[in-house]
Amino acid sequence: MGLGENGNSPLTATLLFAVLITSFGTWFPVGFVTVAMNGPQSVIVNWLRSVQCSKFGGTFGHVFNRTNGTEIDSDLWTWCRHILEEDEPFMLSENLHLSSMWAVGAAVVNVGGLASIFVVVPLVKMLGLKRALLLISIMNIISIGIFCLAPVLHLYEIFVVGRIVIGFTGAMFMTVTPMYISEISPVVLRGAMCTIPMLLMVTGSVTGSGLGLPEVLGNSWGWVYLMGVPALPSMVLLVLLPFCPESPRRLFIVKQDKAAAKKALVWLRRTEEVECELEGMQYELDNRKHQHQLSVTTLFKDKLSRSSLWLAIMPTVARQSSGNMVFAFYSTSIFTGVGLSNQGANFTSLGLWALCLMGTLLSLVLVDRAGRKTLLLVGHAGIIVSLALFVTFSALTKEGYEWAKYGNVACVFVFFAFFQAGIASVAFVLPSELFSQEARSAATSLVSAVGAAGSLITTLCFPLLVPILEEYTYIIFIGCLLFTGTYLAWNLPETKGRTINEIQSILRKKLL
């Protein structure tokens, strides 16, 4: 029996090193970027106003005197006038053009994510997982550099391009990293190891929220440096990942280099007793010889792959249609909207991400104990209840019940507790568990693209729907979760502790 099956602990220092370095260098920046624009939102929005002001030849921050009878140009008044700090939360709602610029800047990151679907599969096929991660890290550093040039060059267009490229590299990170970690981890630790990227992602969000406070870097002089922070983990990855091996499964099954695969396994497991895992790879290789390498389009032509694909996509659809991206991108404005001050909203957002960190730690413990399906369904139930209460408290707040705004904030915290402990982590674990080697790259890239599309739709549509539906906008998220929860309850098998071959066998029986 192999190490993962004989009761000995398969967790080694080298395996943990590889997982932590990969997660820190890839998902930490993604988590940081997700929330980094929250804290300095007013600062960045004012920068957008200053860019437009310069186009009209005005002086930004000018104090206009409307009492002397002099006619004031409407464009200069809109874009150049000084806005008091207490009026800054209303800048977006009072200026549709500015609101659109902000919404595009926030959501366009997902356009890059959608574009990544056409690159990930050939990139992994050509370079392998390890070298692909190194190349994407270089691209991530370049993309952050482009983004940071925007305030220097005073160009909104560079701001948007930088966000697109950051989204492109981030989506590739979120596709390749789970594949690499899943393939270097033993079966009994696969769930826990694949949860670590989410842990580092939330750590990135906590760090981004903390550094984004006005007292730190979330101010007029510091926000440029704040946006440059995500380049640092990528630099660490470039230095340390070369000491880690390529995926043993890829070396054995794709490259058919059995000696290199064994060497990689010995390094990861810290033992020479790796024959059981090698035999499992040999079994998959023997079966793979009778199959062709699947692309994104051919996934839908194979009945088993198509069935597995829907099971992998549904948790991602649930993750993106739950409203989490709305709370992530607009948490500060949501908290100010329920009556908190700017400072109170920023600190509440920081506390929210600290709670997310604890929820992810809980998921790390439960994913290989309670099981993937249980966490998904419990997460669905908790999120649906918290969203329903959020709508109720929002309506009560509008009716003048001051106490209801605190219930609203509590609902957001409960939402993220269930989201992080359930849906968030499992959605990234499942795709690597449901597919064999020849379909995994295409499947995970497609799931990542679905996630990017869902995030794009949500973040673009939310600010447009809120003025119409107000607090009842969140009922849409409840409906989506009822659908995905029902589908997963009926169709998803438990994958905890099972090899890919065993999971595929169960799925085949379901199709009969």
Sign (positive or negative) of CA dihedral 224, 225, 226, 229: positive
Residues 147 and 261 in one domain: no
Residues 279 and 184 in one domain: no
Residues 264 and 372 in one domain: no
Query: What does residue 81 show for φ and ψ, rounded to 5 degrees?
Result: -65, 150
What does the alpha-carbon distance between residue 2 and residue 440 come to, in Å, rounded to a whole number?
A: 24
62: helix, strand or coil? strand
114-to-25, 101, 124, 169, 305 alpha-carbon distances in Å? 21, 20, 17, 11, 21
> Which pTM does this prediction carry?
0.82
Residues 267 and 340 in one domain: no
What does the alpha-carbon distance between residue 22 and residue 174 come to, in Å, rounded to a whole number?
A: 11
CATH number at residue 87: 1.20.1250.20
Residue 5, domain member (yes or no): no
pLDDT tens string, the chain, 512 residues long: the values are 333 344 445 789 999 999 999 999 999 999 999 888 877 888 999 999 999 999 888 888 766 665 555 556 777 888 888 888 777 777 877 888 888 888 888 778 888 888 888 898 889 989 999 999 999 999 999 999 999 999 999 999 999 999 999 999 999 999 999 999 999 999 888 888 988 998 999 899 889 988 988 889 989 899 999 999 999 999 999 999 999 999 999 999 888 899 999 999 999 999 998 998 898 888 878 876 445 566 777 788 878 888 899 999 999 999 988 888 777 666 666 677 666 777 777 788 778 888 888 888 888 888 888 888 999 999 999 999 999 999 998 889 888 888 887 888 888 889 999 998 889 888 888 888 888 777 888 888 888 888 888 877 877 777 777 778 877 888 999 999 999 999 999 999 988 888 888 888 888 888 76
Query: What pLDDT shows up at residue 329?
Result: 62
Residues 148 and 191 in one domain: yes
Residues 81 and 154 in one domain: yes
Residues of the domain holding 214? 13-66+68-244+291-511
Residue 172, domain member (yes or no): yes
Q: Which of 289, 311, 343 is the last residue of a domain?
A: 289
Residue 417, domain member (yes or no): yes
Beta partners for 62? 81
Residues 280 and 383 in one domain: no
Number of domains in the chain: 2
What does the alpha-carbon distance between residue 251 and residue 253 come to, in Å, rounded to a whole number?
A: 6
Residue 3, domain member (yes or no): no
What does the alpha-carbon distance between residue 2 and residue 279 come to, in Å, rounded to a whole number?
A: 9
Beta partners for 81? 62
Residues 379 and 250 in one domain: no
Residue 212, domain member (yes or no): yes
Burial of 279 (0-12, 13-18, 19+ CB in 10 A): exposed
What does the alpha-carbon distance between residue 23 and residue 97 come to, in Å, rounded to a whole number?
A: 38
Residue labelled with tokens 């906590």: 206
Residues 263 and 328 in one domain: no
Query: What DSSP state is assigned to residue 302?
Result: S
Residue 4, domain member (yes or no): no
What does the alpha-carbon distance between residue 95 and residue 228 come to, in Å, rounded to a whole number?
A: 29
Residue 6, domain member (yes or no): no
Q: How many CB atoms lie within 10 A of CB 47?
A: 19
Residues 344 and 456 in one domain: yes
Assigned token pair, 42:
């007013």
Assigned token pair, 8:
């000995």
What does the alpha-carbon distance between residue 497 and residue 369 come to, in Å, rounded to a whole number?
A: 9
Q: Which of 289, 309, 344 is the last residue of a domain?
A: 289
Number of helical (H) and strand (E) elements in the chain, helices listed first:
22, 0
Residue 397, domain member (yes or no): yes
Geometric angle at alpha carbon 430, from 319 and 291, rounded to 5°: 130
Sign (positive or negative) of CA dihedral 398, 403, 404, 407: positive
Residues 211 and 275 in one domain: no
Q: Do the beta carbons of residue 111 and residue 456 sit within 8 Å?
A: yes
Assigned token pair, 7:
């009761």
Assigned token pair, 76:
């200069």
Residues 257 and 355 in one domain: no
Q: Which of 289, 324, 346 is the last residue of a domain?
A: 289
81: helix, strand or coil? strand
Q: Do the beta carbons of residue 394 and residue 338 sit within 8 Å?
A: yes
